[in-house]
Amino acid sequence: MASTSFFCCAKGFNWREKGKKQPPWRIFSLKELHSATNNFNYDNKLGEGGFGSVYWGQLWDGSQIAVKRLKVWSNKAEMEFAIEVEILARVRHKNLLSLRGYCAEGQERLIVYDYMPNLSLLSHLHGHHSTESLLNWERRMNIAIGSAEGTVYLHHATPHIIHRDIKASNVLLDSDFQARVADFGFAKFIPDGATHVTTRVKGTLGYLAPEYAMLGKASESCDVYSFGILLLELVSGKKPVEKLSTTVKRTITEWALPLARDGKFDEIADSTLNRDFVEEELKRVVLIGLVCAQSQPEKRPTMLEVVELLKGISKEKLVAIENDDMFKSMPNCNGSSGEDDSSDHISSEKELKKEIEKVQADQ
């Protein structure tokens, strides 16, 4: 029975009945994937997560693939597998990871993708590629715009798709360092006319929007929040949540907002850039990141607006963001300058972290 429950996810893909051309993906045999990955050899392993492992492989025609192999079969894993295959089969965009195919034999569940030779953004910011300093400013701007455009495509698909897990490890980089948004296991379809869906909280601490983490309200705006955190991480090289001591943690917004208020954008830039960046673009990305990561969802821009802002198209909107109250350093009653003015923001972030940790502990 286990091997048949998956195929519900393919029911919308009777291409011949609809008069469409054959899909650009196919069903792989388990034997074929064993051969491609050298029997899922440890030396072929690209990474590992809660879902299982990803392996590099080479098909008989010489093309390179990445194969995600689910660790253990379960109803939950089956559902995430089915969702990811269905979404990947529906969407095609230059900034989304392409589906090559899948395998569902017995209790084996495998998804086959195009191989991304530069791995993930995470590996370049915090992983084994971080010491190589391959992410110059131009590449970072291209990654920001490309991943934003991929997310816009999801939000404007029919039905709309919320990713729910936008983060550095889910932005993959091809041979030209072009961004490909990946991993749709937590994604949700939004019915036409609906503003959000209420669902069980999934995602990664540090990237979760407050209304989603505390109330389970998933919307396109939740992806905008996560993307704002990603932008700040991309330009600064800092993690979404930093451990300052055994008991004290600081979010990237707690750190960046006071600096932005004081106009110290160069202090936010990743030190590995050695000050080799376009100042106007740096300021733009930081402001966009912070306005995306606001706690009030109604104040966040849409992803389409984010793309326009990143490209410098919406100059009036950028001026409006610059003049937003959140970036004003108001002196307090003691006459000190505005760094302390972020106390409400910091307090809400700390409360949020406690709430998220409680929610995740209950899962």
d(CA 56, CA 59): 10
DSSP 3-state of 238 = coil
d(CA 319, CA 323): 6
Between strands 160-162 and 108-114, the pairing is unpaired
Q: Which residues contact 134 (CB under 8 A, 6 or more apart)?
A: 118, 124, 177
Residues 221, 224, 230: CA angle, nearest 5 degrees: 155
DSSP 3-state of 198 = strand
Q: Which of 43, 61, 165, 223 is catalytic?
A: 165
Would residue 192 show up in a list of annotated catalytic residues for this protein?
no
d(CA 132, CA 56): 22
| Contact (Cβ atoms closer than 8 angstroms) between residue 203 and residue 169 | no
Per-residue tokens: 353: 């972290």
Task: Please provide the DSSP assignment of 268-296 as one string.
Answer: TS-GGGTT-S-HHHHHHHHHHHHHHT-S-
Q: How far is CA 11 from CA 6, 17, 86, in A?
A: 10, 12, 9
Q: Which residues contact 258 (CB under 8 A, 6 or more apart)?
A: 338, 339, 342
Task: Determine if residue 68 is labeled as part of a ligand binding site.
Answer: yes
Task: Please provide the DSSP assignment of 47-98 as one string.
Answer: EEETTEEEEEEE-TTS-EEEEEEESS--HHHHHHHHHHHHHHHH---TTBPP
d(CA 289, CA 311): 14
Binding-site residue positions: 68
Binding-site residue positions for ATP: 68
Q: Which residues are catalytic?
A: 165
